[in-house]
Amino acid sequence: MNYDLEKRFGFLISDVGRLSGKRFDDLARASLELTRAQCRVLAYLSHFGNVNQARLAEMLEIAPISAGRLLDRMEEGGWVERPANPDDRRERRVTLTQKAEQALGAARRVGDEVAAEALEGFSAEEADQLIDMLRRVRGNLGKLVDR
């Protein structure tokens, strides 16, 4: 077993995530009114559609109370709305506002810039292979974690 951190899968994945997140924050400060966590909320809602607060907290890997506070700030800023579910008034659905829809493009451009910087020196084929391999890793782990 190799214990060199530079060759350890978990360490590298974590470090790449940390560095790309930090770079996203640096670029976003100049062009967005949103934090990285808020951009993740917008991205998940755009991709998965309206979800309840509990599911969104799971996706963000944060406690429901933390998700509630984050969504409070986003609702106050006009980024999301949280209407009650007509079938279960205890449940709040989180929906994007028009303001959020318009901001998604700018957030995606920041993400694209981070990706371009991270993949500098990769051929298009290598970049596609890396993305495909990471999707396979996610699928492998998802089968084990989401049982």
Q: How many CB atoms lie within 10 A of CB 121?
A: 7
Cα atoms in the 13 Å half-sphere on the side-chain side of 100: 23
Q: Both tokens of residue 138?
A: 């996610």
For a pLDDT cut of 70, what percent of the chain falls above it?
A: 97
46 vs 104: CA distance, rounded Å: 8
pLDDT digit string (tens) for 62-102? 999 999 999 999 999 999 999 987 887 788 899 999 999 99
DSSP line for 28-60: HHHH-SS-HHHHHHHHHHHHH-SEEHHHHHHHH
Q: Give the CATH class of 22-145.
A: mainly alpha
Binned at pLDDT 50, 70 and 90, residue 147 comes out as: low
Element (H, E) at 69: helix 64-76
Q: Where are the domains of the chain?
A: 22-145
